[in-house]
Amino acid sequence: MEADVVIVGGGPAGMACALRLAQLIDEHNASGVDEMLSKENIYVLEKSREVGQHCLSGGLLDPRSMKELLPGFEKEAPLDAEVTKESVWFLTKGGQYKAPIVPPPLRDHGNYVVSLNKFAKWMGQKVEEAGITVFTGFAGSELLWADESRDAETACVQGVITDDKGVDKEGQPKGNFEPGYELRAKVTILAEGTRGSLAKELIGKLGLEDPEHAQTYGVGIKELWEIPAGRVAKGEVIYTLGYPLTSREYGGAWIYGITDTLASVGYVTGLDYQDPRIDPHHVFQSFKEHKFARRILEGGKMIRYGAKSLPYGGWLTMPRVYGNGWMLLGDSASFLNSQRLKGIHLAIKSGMLAAEAAFDALLSGNSSADTLSEYKAAVDRSWIREELWPVRNFHQGFEHGRLEGFVKAGIQQVMRGGNLGPDAKNHAGYEQMRQLDTLGPADADRAAMVGNAKGDGKLTFDRLTDVFHSGTRHDEDQPVHLVVQDLNICSDRCTKEFGNPCQYFCPAAVYEMVDSAQQDGAGGSAKELRINFTNCVHCKTCDIMDPYQIITWVPPEGGGGPNYDGM
Amino acid sequence: MKILVCMKQVPQKDAPLRLNESGTWIRDDVSWETNEPDAYALEEALRQKEKHGGEVAVITAGPARSQQVLREALAKGADRAIHLEDDRFAQMDAANTARAIAAAIEGEAFDLIVTGLQSDDFGAAQTGVLLAEILGIPHATIIIGIEKTDSGLKLKRELEAGHYQHIEMTMPAVLTIQSGINKLRYATLIGIKQAKTKPMRKVAWAEVEGKLSKHVQKIEKLYVPGSQKKTRKIDAPAGEAAKQLVEYLRNEARVL
Dihedral pair phi/psi, residue A376, rounded to 5°: -65, -40
DSSP lists the bridge partners of residue B203 as: B84
Residues 6+ apart with CB under 8 A from A330: A9, A11, A12, A13, A14, A191, A193, A343, A346, A347, A350, A351
Any idea which of A166-175, A189-198, A294-303, A524-533 has the lowest mean pLDDT? A524-533
Which chain B residues have a beta carbon less than 8 Å from that of A566? 29
The fold of B2-209 is Rossmann fold (3.40.50)
| Same domain for A366 and A239 | no
Residue in chain A closest to B14 (alpha carbons) equals: A471
Mean of pLDDT values over A134-152: 96
pLDDT for the residue numbered A520: 65
How near does any CA of chain B get to the CA of A457, in Å?
Answer: 15
| Same domain for A137 and A44 | yes
What is this model's ipTM? 0.85
Provide the 3-class DSSP secondary structure of residue A141: strand
Say how many C-beta atoms besides its own lie within 10 A of residue A67's C-beta.
13
User: pLDDT tens digits for A292-335?
Assistant: 999 999 999 999 999 999 999 999 999 999 999 999 999 999 99
| Same domain for A257 and A153 | no
pLDDT for the residue numbered B255: 87
Residue that finishes a domain, picked among A367, A389, A411: A389
| Same domain for A88 and A45 | no
| Same domain for A326 and A183 | yes
User: pLDDT tens digits for A485-543?
Assistant: 999 999 999 999 999 999 999 999 999 999 887 776 666 778 899 999 999 999 999 99
What is the average pLDDT score of chain A? 94
Q: Which amino acid is at A40?
A: E
CB contact under 8 A, A176 and B186: yes
Among residues B65, B58, B78, the alpha carbon closest in space to that of B185 is found at B78
In a domain, A509, yes or no: no
CB-based contact A39:A23 (threshold 8 Å) = no
Which chain A residues have a beta carbon less than 8 Å from that of B184? 176
Instruction: For helices A344-364 and A12-30, give the axis angle rounded to 10 degrees.
Output: 40
How near does any CA of chain B get to the CA of A334, in Å?
Answer: 30
Which chain B residues have a beta carbon less than 8 Å from that of A50? 31, 68
| Same domain for A149 and A26 | yes
- Chain B interface includes A492 (CB < 8 A): no
Which among B13, B21, B31 is the top mutation candidate for probing chain A, defined by the most A β-carbons within 10 Å of its own β-carbon? B31
Which chain A residues have a beta carbon less than 8 Å from that of B15? 471, 563, 565
Residue A276 to residue A194: CA distance in whole angstroms: 22
Among residues B82, B83, B174, B177, the alpha carbon closest in space to that of B137 is found at B174
The domain total for chain A is 3
SS (H, E, C) A500-526: CCHHHHCCCCCEEEEEEEEECCCCCEE
Band (pLDDT 50/70/90 cuts) for residue A410 is confident
Q: Which amino acid is at A23?
A: Q
- Chain A interface includes B197 (CB < 8 A): no
CB-based contact A398:A412 (threshold 8 Å) = no
Q: Output the domain CATH number for residue A89.
A: 3.30.9.90
CB-based contact A1:A184 (threshold 8 Å) = yes
Residue A128 to residue A138: CA distance in whole angstroms: 16
Residues 6+ apart with CB under 8 A from A211: none
| Same domain for A84 and A52 | no
pTM greater than 0.90 (yes/no): yes
Q: Is the peptide bond before A421 cis (omega within 30 degrees of 0)?
A: no
pLDDT for the residue numbered A106: 85
| Same domain for A61 and A169 | yes
Residue A383 to residue A64: CA distance in whole angstroms: 10
User: pLDDT tens digits for B22-77?
Assistant: 888 888 878 899 999 999 999 999 999 999 999 999 999 999 999 999 999 999 99
Residue that finishes a domain, picked among A311, A340, A372: A311
In a domain, A561, yes or no: no
| Same domain for A271 and A197 | no
Among residues B114, B143, B140, B145, the alpha carbon closest in space to that of B1 is found at B114
**Which of A165, A471, A565 shows the shortest C-beta gap to B186?**
A165
**Which of B188, B192, B196 shows the shortest C-beta gap to A178?**
B188
Residue A56 to residue A565: CA distance in whole angstroms: 9
- Chain B interface includes A475 (CB < 8 A): no
- Chain A interface includes B227 (CB < 8 A): no
Where exactly does CATH 3.40.50.620 map onto chain B? 2-209
Q: Which amino acid is at B122?
A: F
pLDDT for the residue numbered A208: 96
DSSP lists the bridge partners of residue B168 as: B154
Among residues A271, A264, A273, the alpha carbon closest in space to that of A239 is found at A264
Residue in chain B closest to A133 (alpha carbons) equals: B193
pLDDT for the residue numbered A297: 97
| Runs of H (alpha helix) within B77-149 | 94-104, 127-135
pLDDT for the residue numbered A229: 95
In a domain, A461, yes or no: no
Q: What is the DSSP letter of A534?
A: G
Structural domain boundaries, residue A185: 2-68+119-213+315-389
Which element (helix H / strand E) includes A245? none
Query: Which is higher by pLDDT, B165 or B215?
Result: B165
In a domain, A248, yes or no: yes
Which chain A residues have a beta carbon less than 8 Å from that of B42? none
| Runs of H (alpha helix) within A31-61 | none
In a domain, A411, yes or no: yes
| Same domain for A420 and A299 | no
| Same domain for A405 and A379 | no
pLDDT for the residue numbered A478: 97
Band (pLDDT 50/70/90 cuts) for residue B197 is very high
What is the average pLDDT score of chain B? 93
Residue A342 to residue A335: CA distance in whole angstroms: 9
CB-based contact A166:A174 (threshold 8 Å) = yes
Among residues B42, B40, B35, B36, the alpha carbon closest in space to that of B10 is found at B35
In percent, the amount of chain A with pLDDT more than 70 equals 98
| Same domain for A272 and A324 | no
Residue that finishes a domain, picked among A405, A430, A455: A430
